[in-house]
Amino acid sequence: MSDLVTLLSTGAPVAAAAGGAALARERYPRLYWSTVGLPWSATRLLTTYGSVMEACGLTVPPSRLRALAVRATTRREVRPVPPRRGLVRPTATGLRVRLRLAPGQEVADLAAATERLRHAWSVHAVHVAEVKPGVAELRLVGFDVLNDVRMPKTSGDGFLRVPVALREDATPFVRDYRTVPHQLTLGATLSGKSMYLRHLVAGLAPQRVALVGIDCKRGVELAPFAPRLSALATDPAEAAELLPALVGLMEERYDLIRARQRDNGATPDVWGLPEEERRVPVVVFVDEVAELFLTATRKDEERRDELVTHLVRLAQLGRAAGIYLEVCGQRFGAELGKGATMLRAQLTGRVCHRVNDEASAKMALGDIAPEAVMAACAIPAERPGLAVAADSSGRWARIRTPYLSLTDAATHCAIHAHRAPTLPALARFRPVVSTAVESAPAGS
């Protein structure tokens, strides 16, 4: 009886603590990480570093000098050496540690062992990034940061840079228009494309940038941001007028750059113009690009060809004139007709949300990062906003946008409405913002 009482008095609190920890891990992963996970994983890393590296095949034979020194000073057996380790730095989501690669090792060797390392140190995931030649950083992530996305406080924003999503290694994914001028965002319906655009619009709203929208779903996605837009087209007919106006603006800017080259010397783009003459950058958002390609009649076909030619010209030449494209759609392949693959080839950045088939993922990623195609196909429907981002360097990562409601984004745009630049060439496309409340007729 007394044994039973002892068992109950010690076992019950232990069981309660274990249950509480499991619940905290599930419900409050951040709190769990900073109180339990971090000390536990850091201790394991520090105490088992050498043996884990050896077990993972990440050690190299010691140099002859080292072997001699060990033999001369101790009677110990000469053991293989792991990469030299830097300080272990804790973060709100994981741990970071820099490693100096041993001679003969490359970053890919560490990358191949990440699955084994994560089990050895009890963390959710391990990622590897090259810091500089010979130095790699191990990024240990304590829990699934893409489950409930929270952007880090310092996320690298700046002029024409928008931290739009979080990578799975807990670093921000920054959409930087100066390095990747044009981007294609693909995904099935309800996969999170418009949420991605919403973040970009909200992120650019406080900056000195003109925002232009082409939303052939009659403006349902972009019209709420009308106060901050310098131009908006809500159907293919309007887009067919807006795009030539944008090409005209681009040509005007090229003429200006050419004129200044004659006066002041060489400048290859708008950024080299004197400050007072520098033109405001224009970001063109196209939601559901396929709508611009589809035609019903032969007359439409002519319009389509013109429209696509303008888009291709903007993608080819726009960057130097400070015009950037953000194109978004469900599929974007040769089946859309003439010009589709040519336009796609100009869109350097690629983000692929959940897709319904492998062919769609290949349209987004197949030509630049073939290994990312399978990762895109594995995105589950219950995780909208999750995507695979790649660029022409072949690198790719899983990313997810934080949730941002349409109302919050629209309010943010309304607050920054006074920053919307007026571009005379686009003035007639400026959306009329009505503050009057519309009342629906009875019975409608």
Ligand X SMILES: Nc1ncnc2c1ncn2[C@@H]1O[C@H](COP(=O)(O)OP(=O)(O)OP(=O)(O)O)[C@@H](O)[C@H]1O
**Alpha helices in 143-235, H assignment, sequence order:** 193-204
The residue length of the chain stands at: 444
The residue (of 124 and 354) whose beta carbon lies closer to ligand X is 354
Counting Cβ atoms within 10 Å, is residue 389 exposed (0-12), middle (13-18) or buried (19+)?
buried
Q: Where are the alpha helices (DSSP H) in 205-297?
A: 236-264, 290-293
| Residue 403 contact among ligand X, Mg ion, none, beta carbon within 5 to 8 Å by kind | ligand X
Q: What are the respective helix, strand and coil percentages of the chain, to the nearest 5?
A: 45, 20, 35
C-alpha–C-alpha distance, residues 386 and 390, integer Å: 13
Residue 163's binding partner, choosing from Mg ion, ligand X, none, with beta-carbon cut-off 5 to 8 A by kind? none
403 interacts with ligand X by CB under 6 A: yes
SS (H, E, C) 344-392: HHHCCEEEECCCCCHHHHHHHHHCCCCCHHHHHHCCCCCCCCEEEEECC
**Closer Cβ to Mg ion, 183 or 194, answer by number:** 194
Shortest distance, CB of residue 172 to ligand X, whole angstroms?
A: 14
Residue 181 contact among ligand X, Mg ion, none, beta carbon within 5 to 8 Å by kind? none
Closer by beta carbon to ligand X, 223 or else 320: 223
Work out the angle at residue 343's Cα, subtended by the Cα atoms of residues 341 and 346, and round it to the nearest 5 degrees: 110
Identity of residue 255: D
Q: Please, which residue, 191 or 348, has the CB nearer to ligand X?
A: 191
Beta bridge partners of 175: 162
Which one, 165 or 373, has the nearer CB to ligand X?
165
Report, in Å, the least distance between residue 146 CB and ligand X. 9
385, interface contact from ligand X, Mg ion, none, CB < 5-8 Å by kind: ligand X
297 binds ligand X (CB under 6 A): no
Q: How far is the CB of 191 from Mg ion (least distance, A)?
A: 9
**Residues 163-202: x where in contact with ligand X by CB under 6 A, - otherwise, as a string:** ------------------------x-xxxxxxx-------
Q: Which residues inside 335-394 make contact with ligand X, applying CB under 6 A?
A: 384-385
Question: For residues 126 and 376, which CB has a smaller minimum distance to ligand X in the complex?
Answer: 376
By C-alpha distance, which of 184, 193, 218, 195 is closest to 333?
Answer: 184
Helix (H) or strand (E) holding 35: none
The nearer residue to Mg ion, 105 or 194, going by C-beta atoms, is 194
Whichever of 186 and 426 has its CB closer to Mg ion, that residue is 186
Q: Which does 271 bind (CB under 5 to 8 A by kind): Mg ion, ligand X, none?
A: none
Rounded least distance, CB 195 to ligand X, Å: 3
Considering only residues 170 to 199 of the shown chain, the ones binding Mg ion according to CB under 5 A are: 194
**Considering the rule CB under 5 A, would residue 105 count as an interface residue with Mg ion?**
no
Site residues for ligand X, 227-246, by CB under 6 A, read: none
Retrieve residue 359's tokens. 């062919």
Q: How far is the CB of 384 from ligand X (least distance, A)?
A: 3
The contacts of residue 55 (CB under 8 Å, 6+ apart) are 116, 120
268-283 in b/e burial notation, b at 16+ Cβ within 10 A?
A: eebeebeeeeebebbb
CB closest to ligand X, residue no: 385
Task: Give me the residue label for tokens 């380790």.
Answer: 85
Contacted entry of Mg ion, ligand X, none for residue 407, CB cut-off 5 to 8 Å set by kind = none
Q: Could you tell which of Mg ion, ligand X, none binds residue 96, using a CB distance below 5 to 8 A set by kind?
A: none
Q: What is the rounded CA–CA span in Å between residue 269 and residue 149?
A: 37
Strands 282-287 and 323-329: parallel
The entry of ligand X, Mg ion, none that residue 187 binds, CB within 5 to 8 Å by partner kind: ligand X
Q: Cβ–Cβ contacts within 10 Å for residue 335, how many?
A: 12
CA distance 113 to 130: 15
Q: 111 with 146: CB under 8 angstroms?
A: no
401 lies in the site for Mg ion, by CB under 5 A: no
Cβ closest to Mg ion, residue 94 vs residue 219 = 219
Positions that interact with Mg ion (CB under 5 A): 194
**Which parts of this chain interact with ligand X (CB under 6 A)?**
187, 189-195, 330, 384-385, 400-401, 403
